[in-house]
Amino acid sequence: MNNIFRLDKDTVNILAKEHGTPLLVLSLEQIEKNYLFLREHLPKVKLYYAMKSNPQDQIVQRLADLGACFDVASDGEMQQLRDLGISPDRLVYANPVKTAGGFAKAQETGVNTFTFDSESEIEKMAKAVPGGRVLLRIRVDNPDALVDLNQKFGAPATDAMRLLLKARDMGLDVAGLCFHVGSQSRSAAPYLRAIATCRSLFDEAQAVGLNLRLLDIGGGFPIQTTGEPIDIAAMCHSISEALTENFPNTEIWAEPGRSLCGTAVNLITRVIGSQIRNGQQWYFLDEGVYGSFSGVIFDHWDYELETFKNGMNITATFAGPSCDSIDVLYRERPTPPLAIDDLLLVPACGAYTSASATVFNGFAKAKFVIWEEIAPEIRNQLRNAC
Ligand SMILES: *Cc1c(COP(=O)(O)O)cnc(C)c1O
Number of domains comprising the chain: 2
Burial of 92 (0-12, 13-18, 19+ CB in 10 A): buried
Domain match, 205 and 290 both: no
Domain match, 243 and 273 both: no
Domain match, 55 and 158 both: yes
The pLDDT value given to residue 1: 47
The pLDDT value given to residue 148: 75
Domain C-terminal end among 213, 237, 261:
261
Residue 4 within a domain: no
Across the range 245-250, mean pLDDT stands at 97
Distances (CA, A) of 187 to 228, 243, 374: 12, 16, 37
The pLDDT value given to residue 233: 97
Ligand 1, atom nearest to 184 Cα? 7
Q: Per-residue pLDDT for 36 more than 50?
A: yes
Domain C-terminal end among 242, 261, 280:
261
| HSE-CB for 134 with a 13 A CA cutoff | 36
Per the prediction, the chain carries an average pLDDT of: 96
Q: Per-residue pLDDT for 338 more than 50?
A: yes
Q: The domain spanning residue 159 has which CATH number?
A: 3.20.20.10
Q: Which of 183, 223, 263 to mutate to test the pocket of ligand 1 (most atoms within 8 A of CB)?
A: 183
Domain match, 221 and 353 both: no
Sign of CA dihedral 144, 145, 147, 149: negative
Residue 283 within a domain: yes
The pLDDT value given to residue 2: 54
Q: Per-residue pLDDT for 88 more than 50?
A: yes
Burial of 59 (0-12, 13-18, 19+ CB in 10 A): buried
Q: Per-residue pLDDT for 249 more than 70?
A: yes
Q: Are 194 and 185 in contact (CB under 8 A)?
A: no
| 261 Cα: distance to centroid of ligand 1 (angstroms) | 12
Across the range 63-88, mean pLDDT stands at 98
Domain C-terminal end among 240, 261, 282:
261
**336/19 Cα distance (integer angstroms):** 26
Domain match, 204 and 75 both: yes
Residue 24 within a domain: no
Q: Are 266 and 302 in contact (CB under 8 A)?
A: no
Tens of pLDDT, residues 352-377: 999 999 999 999 999 999 999 999 99
Across the range 200-205, mean pLDDT stands at 98
Domain match, 112 and 229 both: yes
Domain match, 211 and 70 both: yes
Domain match, 60 and 161 both: yes
Ligand 1, atom nearest to 52 Cα? 1
Residue 43 within a domain: yes
Give one DSSP letter per residue of 66-112, joined into a string. TT-EEEE-SHHHHHHHHHTT--GGGEEE--SS--HHHHHHHHHHT--
Between these two residues, 310 and 57, which has the higher pLDDT value? 57
Across the range 333-351, mean pLDDT stands at 97
Say which of 178, 198, 261, 323 is annotated catalytic: 323
Q: Per-residue pLDDT for 386 more than 90?
A: no
**Percentage, residues of the chain above pLDDT 70:** 99
Domain match, 164 and 192 both: yes
Domain match, 245 and 189 both: yes
Please say if 323 is a catalytic residue.
yes
Domain match, 251 and 274 both: no
Residue 219 in contact with ligand 1 by CB distance below 6 A: yes
Domain match, 35 and 171 both: yes
Residue 18 within a domain: no
| 165 Cα: distance to centroid of ligand 1 (angstroms) | 26
Across the range 142-165, mean pLDDT stands at 87
Helix, strand or coil for residue 308? coil
Q: The domain spanning residue 359 has which CATH number?
A: 2.40.37.10
Residue 377 within a domain: yes
Residue 52 in contact with ligand 1 by CB distance below 6 A: yes
Residue 381 within a domain: yes
The pLDDT value given to residue 225: 86
Q: Per-residue pLDDT for 76 more than 50?
A: yes
Residue 17 within a domain: no
Q: What is the span of the domain harbouring residue 352?
A: 262-385
Cβ neighbours of residue 156 under 8 Å, at least 6 residues apart?
138, 139
